[in-house]
Amino acid sequence: MPKIANIWLRSILSTIYQRGQMTRTEILQATGLNAASVSHALRYLLGTGTILKLGEIQSRGGRRSEVLKLNSDAAYFVAIDLEGTRIRIAFTNLVGDVRYRWEEDIEWGKPLEMKRIRYGVKMVLRNLRAPQRSRLVAAGISYPGIGDRQGSITAVNLGWQKVDLAGEMQEACGVPVFLEHSHRTCIIAERLVGCAQGSDNCVYVEVGQGIGASIISDGCHLAGRDRMAGELGHMVVDPDAKDRCKCGNYGCLESIASSPNVVRQYLADTKGQPHHLIGSKVGRVFERAQHGDKAALKVLDRVGSVLGIGLANLVNLLNPELIILGGDLPKGESVLLPRIKKELQRHAIRDFSEGLQIRVSSLGPDIRLMGATFLAFRNCLLYPQLLKKLCEPVIVVSSQQAVNLSGNTRTRLTAANVPIAAYREIPGNAARLERAKR
Amino acid sequence: MPKIANIWLRSILSTIYQRGQMTRTEILQATGLNAASVSHALRYLLGTGTILKLGEIQSRGGRRSEVLKLNSDAAYFVAIDLEGTRIRIAFTNLVGDVRYRWEEDIEWGKPLEMKRIRYGVKMVLRNLRAPQRSRLVAAGISYPGIGDRQGSITAVNLGWQKVDLAGEMQEACGVPVFLEHSHRTCIIAERLVGCAQGSDNCVYVEVGQGIGASIISDGCHLAGRDRMAGELGHMVVDPDAKDRCKCGNYGCLESIASSPNVVRQYLADTKGQPHHLIGSKVGRVFERAQHGDKAALKVLDRVGSVLGIGLANLVNLLNPELIILGGDLPKGESVLLPRIKKELQRHAIRDFSEGLQIRVSSLGPDIRLMGATFLAFRNCLLYPQLLKKLCEPVIVVSSQQAVNLSGNTRTRLTAANVPIAAYREIPGNAARLERAKR
C-alpha cells in the first residue's frame, strides 16, 4: 500500500465527521481528492477500524455503494464545561456521547478552585478501561468569560482572573488540551449535530446567566479583534430603562432578559405576596407564566419584547438565515418565543425576517460537552501526531456488532468467549490479536 | 523565458496592489511563490510595463533591492457610483485616480432613467485617446439598495425595482462589468488606500441619506444570507422615540441620525424662526452648531447620542479594531465625533472600546469611484482573459519618467521629439515601437 498522506486522512475524516455517514462516491466529491487517494485512505481507515462499513445502498446506475461512518469508539476525549452555575466534566467518544461524567454545582461568582476541576477529571478518568485510556487523544474545554491566546481565563462566574486553565488541564488530563469560548462550543455542536446542520450564516444566542451570541458568517466564526465578538448582552435595547446592568450601564439587554434578572423583576413585582421563589430559578417564573400568573406574564412580556428588539438589531446587522436560542430559554419556549418573534418581525427588515428561521436548541445541557469534544476532534486533525493517534488500529468487538475479521480470528475470539471486549490489532500483523486488558 | 502561470501574475499583482510598492524580497515573502517563478513573472511584468521599477533601496546585508510598483496607466476602468443624490461616472486608472468624470444631481426617490447613465458613460468615454481605449479592461459599479446575483438592482433612491443594471452597463461600456453594494465599495477603498489599510476587523459606517455598515471580519466581508448584511440604520436605539422611520417603525437609528432626519429635527425645533434652511443640507446644520446655534446643538446632542449607542451595540457584537465613519458625517466631525465617542465609551464593553480606533473617512466624495475601480481590478485578476489584458505590453513615455529602453529606441524617441506620448510595444519585437495615436 502506498504511503497515506495526512491531508487525505484529514479531508476524509473531517468530511465524514460533518456528514455523519457517506458513500465512497460522496466522499470523493466532497473532498475533491483523486479516486486513488480516497481508495487508499479508505482501505487504510477501514483496516484500522477508524471508520466502519455501515452497509450498502443502491446507487445510480444500479451499482451498489458502501456507506461508511466513523467508528464512534475510535477515539476518546475529555470534555469540560465551565459555564453557568454547574461544572461538567465528561469522558466522551468520538461523536460526543458522554461515557462517564462528573458534575458539581458551583456558586456564581465564588472563586472556583482548580483542585475541584482536577478532582473531577480524576473521577472521570478513574473509570477508564485500558483500551479507552489508550485511545484518549485530547481534551476540549468550553470556558466562559475571556480567554487569551495562551489559555489563561478571566471569568466572573468562576471568580477567575487570568487563571492558566490550559496548563493545569493539560497536566490533569495528560493529553493536549484545546479551549474555546462556551458560546462557540455551542454553535460547533449545533452545526454538527443540532439544528444548524448545513447552515453557513447562523447565530447561536445563549440566554441564561448572561446573554451572548456566537456568529457564523459564510461558514466561519466571527471572532473580532480579541476573538471576543458576540457580546449581545450589553446591547442597549432601552436607554430609558431603570434596570442597572452589572457593567454599570442601564438598559442593556442582559439587565432585563438574563435569567437572574427575570427572577429579580418577578420578585420585585410580586413583593409582599407569599411565595417561595427567592433564590429560585428562572424555570419557576416560566412555569408560573404558563399557568397564567399575571405578574410572571407581565415580566415575560417585557423580556420577550427586548429580546425581540435585540435579535432584530442583530438580524439587521448580520442578515443570518437561522437563529438558535439556547441556555435557559428553551424552558420558557411556549411563553417567550411568540413574544420574541412578534417583536422581531416588527423591527427586522422584511427581506431579512422573511425566511429567517428561529429555532430553540434541543441539544440539552450536554451541548457544550459535545461542542468541546468536536473542538478537540477538529484540532486533532491538524496535528500530525494526534491525527496518527486517531487513526491507530482498533477493533472493538461487541456482541451487538458484526465484526469483520478473518475466519480464523473469529473462531479464536468466539472460543475465548469474549462478550464485549476491546481488541487491539498489532500493526503489520492483522492476524495476531492481542487481548487488551480491560 | 518559461511559460508564465496565471497564478504567479495573480499573486504578484494583487500583492503589489495591496501594498503599493514592494521589493523583490517582500514579494517573494508575501506571495509564498518560489524564487524562480517570482523572478520570471517580474521580468515579464517589467517587460510589458505592467509594473515599474521605482528605484533601489539598501536592503539588509548591504545588497541593493529594487522597489517595484504598479504602472498606474497599465489599465483603465469605468467606475460608476449611484449612491445618494448625485450619480458619478468616471474613467479611472489602475489605482483609482479619476481621469475624466461626469456627474449629475438626481432627485431622491425619483426614477432615474437608464439612458441618463448611458449618456454619462458615453460622455466619459468620448474623451478617451486610442491607447486609453485599448487598455480599458472592465467596469466597476457601486450600487445602493439591493442587488441580486444576476446584477438586478432594487433601490429606493433611484426609484428602481429589479433593474438590469449589469446588462445595461455591459452594453454601454463594452467591457465586463462588476457590481458591489456601495457600503462595500467604500470599505474596499478604505482598506486599499484609506485609513483601514492593514486592518482585518473593521467596520465602515455610512451616515448620509441612510445609515449602513460594511463589516470586515478576519479579513473577509460579512455578507449574510442574502449578501445584505449591515443594515445598521434600522437598529432600534430608542424604542420610545416618536421618530417614524421610512420602514414604518419608530426609534430606528436612521429615523433620528440620517442626514434628512437631522435637518427635519432642526427645522421642527426652530419652527417660526426666520431662516432659510428648508430644503437645505445637513452641512448647514453642522455649520450652525459649530457657530453655537443652540437648536442645532440640541439636535446634534441627540444624534451623537443615538449614533454612540448604535456603534456601541455594533462594537459589542463584532469586537472590531476600527470604525470608519463616512458619508455626510465627516462634515460634522468637530461637533458630532466627541458626542459619539462619549456615548460609545459609556455603552461598549471596556475591553472592546479600549484600543478601538474611530476614524473619519478622508477619501472624500470619490471614495466609491475608487472602490468600484479596485473591485473591477480584483475581479480582473480572476478571469484569465482579463488578466491577460491587464498584462498586455505597454510603454508609457512621459517627460517626468525615466524610460528603460535600449539605446537605439531611446535615440529614436528623442529624435522624434515626443514629450508625453503613449507607446505600445509590439509583442516579440522590443525594438520596434509603434507610435500610438492620442
What mean pLDDT comes out for the span B345-355?
91
- Nearest Cα residue to B308 out of A380, A141, A71, A249: A249
Of B218, B229, B319, the CB nearest to A226: B319
Of B220, B231, B352, the CB nearest to A317: B231
pLDDT, one tens digit for every residue, chain A (438 residues): 568 889 999 999 999 998 888 999 899 999 989 999 999 999 999 988 899 888 888 766 777 888 999 998 899 999 999 987 889 999 999 888 998 999 999 887 788 999 999 999 999 999 888 888 889 999 999 998 888 878 889 888 788 999 999 999 999 999 999 999 999 999 999 999 899 998 999 999 999 888 999 999 998 999 899 888 999 999 999 988 999 988 888 999 999 999 999 999 998 888 756 555 555 588 989 999 999 999 999 999 999 999 999 999 999 999 999 999 999 999 999 999 999 999 999 999 988 999 899 999 989 889 999 999 999 999 999 999 999 999 988 754 443 333 444 333 433 333 333 322 333 333 332 222 333 332
- Nearest Cα residue to A110 out of A149, A73, A41, A157: A157
Q: What is the pLDDT of residue B354?
A: 92
Q: What is the pLDDT of residue B438?
A: 29
Flag if B352 and A231 touch (Cβ within 8 Å): yes
Total CB pairs under 8 A between chain A and B:
142
Flag if B201 and A231 touch (Cβ within 8 Å): no
* B59-97 burial code (b ≥16 CB/10 A, e <16): eeeeeebbbbbbbebbbbbbbbbbbbeebbbbbbbbbbe
The tens digit of pLDDT for each residue in B135-176 reads 999 999 999 888 887 888 988 878 899 999 999 999 999 999
How far off is chain A from B86, nearest CA to CA, in Å? 26
Give the DSSP H/E element, type plus range, for residue A197: none
**For residue B231, which amino acid is it?**
E
Flag if B347 and A249 touch (Cβ within 8 Å): yes
Of A218, A226, A249, the CB nearest to B351: A226
Q: Residue B26's Cα: distance from chain center in Å?
A: 25
Mutate to test the interface with B, among A200, A216, A235 (most CBs of B within 10 A): A235
Flag if B225 and A314 touch (Cβ within 8 Å): no
Do the beta carbons of residue A225 and residue A346 sit within 8 Å? no
Flag if A317 and B317 touch (Cβ within 8 Å): yes
Q: Where is pLDDT greater, at A408 or B88? A: B88
How far off is chain A from B321, nearest CA to CA, in Å? 6
Name the residue of chain B whose CA is nearest to A322's CA: B225
Q: What is the pLDDT of residue B421?
A: 30
How far off is chain B from A183, nearest CA to CA, in Å? 13
Name the residue of chain B whose CA is nearest to A239's CA: B238
Do the beta carbons of residue A141 and residue A163 sit within 8 Å? no
Provide the β-strand partners of residue A153: A147, A163
Angle at which helix B24-31 crosses helix B6-19, to 10 degrees, equals: 110
Measured between beta carbons, the chain A residues lying within 8 angstroms of B224 are: 201, 217, 318-320, 352
Measured between alpha carbons, how far is A115 from A125 in angstroms, rounded to an integer?
15
Flag if A316 and B249 touch (Cβ within 8 Å): no
The tens digit of pLDDT for each residue in A115-168 reads 999 999 999 999 888 888 889 999 999 998 888 878 889 888 788 999 999 999
What are the C-alpha distances in Å from A256 to residues A262, A265, A285?
7, 8, 14
Mutate to test the interface with B, among A162, A215, A318 (most CBs of B within 10 A): A318
Measured between beta carbons, the chain B residues lying within 8 angstroms of A237 are: 236, 239
Mutate to test the interface with B, among A226, A228, A347 (most CBs of B within 10 A): A347
Flag if A223 and B236 touch (Cβ within 8 Å): no
Of A225, A313, A320, the CB nearest to B321: A225
Contacts (Cβ under 8 Å, ≥6 apart) of A126: none
What are the C-alpha distances in Å from A417 to residues A132, A307, A397, A410, A431?
21, 60, 11, 11, 18
Is the confidence at residue B58, as pLDDT, over 90? no
What are the C-alpha distances in Å from B294 to residues A335, B277, B285?
48, 15, 11
Of A231, A240, A319, the CB nearest to B229: A319
Measured between beta carbons, the chain A residues lying within 8 angstroms of B353 are: none
Measured between beta carbons, the chain A residues lying within 8 angstroms of B234 are: 312, 316, 347-349
Q: What is the pLDDT of residue B276?
A: 53
What is the reported pTM?
Answer: 0.81
Measured between alpha carbons, how far is B351 from B170 in angstroms, rounded to an integer?
48
Mutate to test the interface with A, among B252, B313, B346 (most CBs of A within 10 A): B313
Residue B227 pLDDT grade (very low, low, confident, very high; cuts 50, 70, 90)? confident
How far off is chain B from A307, nearest CA to CA, in Å? 12
Measured between beta carbons, the chain A residues lying within 8 angstroms of B247 are: 349
Of A231, A247, A317, the CB nearest to B230: A317
Q: What is the pLDDT of residue B2?
A: 67
What mean pLDDT comes out for the span B50-78?
85
User: What would the grid cell of residue B209 be?
Assistant: 441619506
Name the residue of chain B whose CA is nearest to A145's CA: B351
SS3 for chain B, per residue? CCCCCHHHHHHHHHHHHHHCEEEHHHHHHHHCCCHHHHHHHHHHHHHHCCEEEEEEEECHHHCEEEEEEECCCCCEEEEEECCCCEEEEEEEECCCCEEEEEEEECCCCCCCCHHHHHHHHHHHHCCCCHHHHHCEEEEEEEECCEECCCCEEEECCCCEEEEEHHHHHHHHHCCCEEEEEHHHHHHHHHHHHCCCCCCCCEEEEEECCCEEEEEEECCEECCCCCCCCCCHHHCECCCCCCCECCCCCECEHHHHHCHHHHHHHHHHHCCCCCCCCCCCCHHHHHHHHHCCCHHHHHHHHHHHHHHHHHHHHHHHHHCCCEEEEEECHHHHHHHHHHHHHHHHHHHCCHHHHCCCEEEECCCHHHHHHHHHHHHHHHHHHHCHHHHHHHCCCCEEECCCCCCCCCHHHHHHHHHHCCCCEEEEEECCEEEEEEECCC
Of B317, B348, B356, the CB nearest to A213: B317
Of A225, A239, A347, the CB nearest to B201: A225
Do the beta carbons of residue A145 and residue A246 sit within 8 Å? no
Long-range contacts of B100-106 (CB under 8 A, 24+ apart): B100/B124, B100/B127, B100/B128, B101/B369, B106/B157, B106/B158
Q: What is the pLDDT of residue B418?
A: 32
Name the residue of chain A whose CA is nearest to B214's CA: A317
The tens digit of pLDDT for each residue in A177-203 reads 999 999 999 999 999 989 999 899 999
Q: What is the pLDDT of residue A275?
A: 55
SS3 for B58-105, per residue? ECHHHCEEEEEEECCCCCEEEEEECCCCEEEEEEEECCCCEEEEEEEE
Flag if B226 and A319 touch (Cβ within 8 Å): yes
Mutate to test the interface with A, among B316, B350, B353 (most CBs of A within 10 A): B316
Q: What is the pLDDT of residue A407?
A: 38
Q: What is the pLDDT of residue A157?
A: 79
Of A215, A313, A318, the CB nearest to B313: A313
The tens digit of pLDDT for each residue in B171-211 reads 999 999 999 999 999 999 999 989 999 899 999 999 988 89
Of A231, A312, A356, the CB nearest to B317: A231
How far off is chain B from A21, nearest CA to CA, in Å? 27
Q: What is the pLDDT of residue B115?
A: 93
How far off is chain A from B82, nearest CA to CA, in Å? 22
Q: What is the pLDDT of residue A273?
A: 64
